[in-house]
A and B are shown apart, each in its own frame.
Chain A
Amino acid sequence: MLILDCPYCGVRCDETELTPGGEAHLTRHGPGSDDADFERYLFQRRNPRGVHLERWRHAYGCGKWFHAARHTVTMQVFGTYPAQTTEPPADIVERIRASDPDWTFGDDT
């Protein structure tokens, strides 16, 4: 069972209390964008076998969206952070690099 700490209300929740929301840090393309951008935003995913930054909602708690950094093979959680950001905070990046030194945050969506 996956356990994450909600960065807003501080509650340690197991996954039944949360709703998964898919890949984090996607660029939301709006009207006027071309087809390729829309396709990237709506469908194409990094789907990494390794470190994954994703969105979660504390559905049966404070109701807020937050982000989590998790490893998709070992299920190690590197930390959670508020959703109002465009990249993971430095302390989480440091923890990720401790387990995967080559990892970089790629904002290419």
Chain B
Amino acid sequence: MRVPTATVPPATVSAGDRQLRRIERDTLIVGGGLALGALLLWPSHPARAAGVAGGLALMALSYQGIRSGVDAVWPRPGPGVPAAGETAAPVSPTLRARFGFVKFFTRNAILALSAYVMMARFEFDPMAMLAGVSTPAIAATIEFARTMRVGSDGSHSRLS
């Protein structure tokens, strides 16, 4: 008899979610590496490392807002949530979904305010902030290269 565990059921983690998690991890690694590199290269200018971290934080805010909005519209399949394609009873909007919508629609205001505070008040380095904002694009490029490499090896794609 199989003992039920508290782990996430396989149905809740799709290939798209796995890909997103790899990109999240790569973004953190690239951003952390850039911030550490800035700190090591310019130890007398901590505003540069802080700028990279600030840009990363801006992208994290944006990502969380977008993700919670998408999750509010299309909930991830899991326990208690009908899988895609199944007929589901109408569910009233939960507090999480409402909060997700609020985050989705107010994310640009939050981003603008945060960027203003970082740049004009905390005086983070603006070029470093741009580098920090670039980290998701770098991570997506890494993921694309990884997918192409796995595909060209003749094995199955990691997306599937």
Q: Is chain B a partner of chain A in the same complex?
A: no
Q: Which residues of B contact A (CB under 8 A)?
A: none
Q: Which residues of A contact B (CB under 8 A)?
A: none
